Amino acid sequence: MDIGEAKRLAGIEAAKFINNGMKVGLGTGSTVKHTVIELGRRVNEDGLEIVGVPTSIATEKIANDVGIPLVQLSEIDGLDIVIDGADEYDSNFQLIKGGGAALLREKIVAQASDSMVVVADDRKRVTTLGAFPLPIEVTPFAHLATVRALSNVLDCSVIIRMDGDSPLITDNGNLIADAHTGPTISDPIEMEHEILKIAGVVQVGLFNDMCDAVVLAGANGVSTLYRSNGRLSS
């Protein structure tokens, strides 16, 4: 199966986790986009009654286009579920996210959710996290000092992500520093702790102990994997 078609089918499959009355975190990325589109179809054609909280301006636009009612996270008491993408995940369902530069909003939404489903293609499955450069959202103020501190703590190259000739600016007005650790992140919980000690760091794209299921797209179709002690495991 073409990987693009598999990603579309995986996005649609993930939408099956959503039922009437749910408050849903709407993630960001090329695969979960198909989930948002499918939820919009169900709202309009099947009468699905949900409210959504988007994790990025891009997702907010898609959700508005397909007719999903949106609310601010501050206006409600938590979320039932968030469906989002990932740049990598390991056998413990730990994630690297932030390739789309939305990691701060994504983590705020994930922490407010009762469960998390990730939609990904099988190229995102790794033995050890870190081949994908680890995104870290940092403040513009003294950002080069923050980059130096990150380089020292992580013992690797840390590079500010660019958008053409200028640094990429996140939806929250911050910068993204990509840490090129290589596939060495064997203890993502400890690494997250160490990175967050640095004052210029806003948030880091390690999503630990959050993901409960992965809807996986591959050449042979779509499969769903559940974390054994996760909130969605039976």
Is the domain of 189 the same as that of 83?
no
Is the domain of 82 the same as that of 169?
no
Is the domain of 177 the same as that of 217?
no
Is the domain of 73 the same as that of 18?
yes
Is the domain of 21 the same as that of 86?
yes
Q: What's the pLDDT score for residue 234?
A: 63
- The domain tally of the chain equals 2
Q: Return the amino acid letter for 160.
A: I
**Helix or strand holding residue 38 (H, E):** helix 32-41
CATH number at residue 69: 3.40.50.1360
Assigned domain for 168 exists: yes
Is the domain of 190 the same as that of 101?
no
CA dihedral 211, 129, 29, 121 (to 10 degrees): -90
Q: List the alpha helices (DSSP H) in 55-170.
A: 57-66, 103-111, 143-154
Q: What's the pLDDT score for residue 219?
A: 81
Helix (H, G, I), strand (E, B) or coil at 207: strand
Give the range of the structural domain holding residue 182, as residue numbers without chain letter.
Answer: 134-205
Assigned domain for 31 exists: yes
Is the domain of 45 the same as that of 94?
yes
Which regions in the chain score pLDDT beneath 50? none
Q: Which of 38, 60, 88, 106 is flagged as catalytic? A: 106
Among 151, 171, 155, 152, smallest CA distance to 163 is for 171
Is the domain of 153 the same as that of 182?
yes
Is the domain of 11 the same as that of 81?
yes
Q: Which pLDDT tens digit goes with each residue over 43-95? A: 999 999 999 999 999 999 999 999 999 999 999 999 999 999 999 999 999 99
Q: Judge whether 106 counts as a catalytic residue.
A: yes
CATH number at residue 176: 3.30.70.260
CA angle 96, 97, 100 (to 5 degrees): 145
